[in-house]
Amino acid sequence: MKAHEAPSRASYRLRSGDIVTAVSGASTGTTKQATALITEDEDGAICSNGLAVLRRFEGIDPLFLLCFMRTEPFLRQVRRLMTGHAIPAISLDDLGGVLIPVPLAEHQHRIANAVRGVHVLREQIVRATELIVRDVETMIPCDLKPTGA
């Protein structure tokens, strides 16, 4: 969709290397909170103001931060700062005040490298699954395949 066609809540242009995290909704502050690293595939995409966009990291490895944002100490702080009952949310200012431990660079890089490895494995799994599905589809008799609508 073109930017001018996007709804008004679609307010942030994403860049490769950004981290996005949910700031509203029932999952925010839980282990199911949406948090992701933006890859080159998503570069230039636009996201909703239901997400916070984090960029320009100083003194902290983005992949370490991504991993920290999955921990109970991070999520506990988010829960404590949330307001609202029907649609709980944390303000961007409050999210900016969440305390983040900054370990030595070598420890951050060790975690970041492990996260990189997990992302590579995930991509391999997705590709392998696609190949398996294609293989299964070749086994389906033609009379079971949709003929179009």
DSSP string, the chain: --GGGS-TTEEEE--TT-EEEE-BSTTTTSTT--EEE--GGGTT-EEETTEEEE---SSS-HHHHHHHTTSHHHHHHHHHH-B-SSS-B--HHHHHT-------HHHHHHHHHHHHHHHHHHHHHHHHHHHHHHHHHHHS-GGGS----
Domain limits, the chain: 3-101
Question: pTM for this one?
Answer: 0.80
- Architecture, CATH, for domain 3-101: Alpha-Beta Complex (3.90)
- pLDDT (tens, 9 = 90+) of the chain, 149 residues, equals 555 566 666 678 999 999 999 999 999 999 999 999 999 999 999 888 899 999 988 899 999 999 999 999 999 999 999 999 889 999 999 999 999 999 999 999 999 999 999 999 999 999 999 999 999 999 988 777 666 65
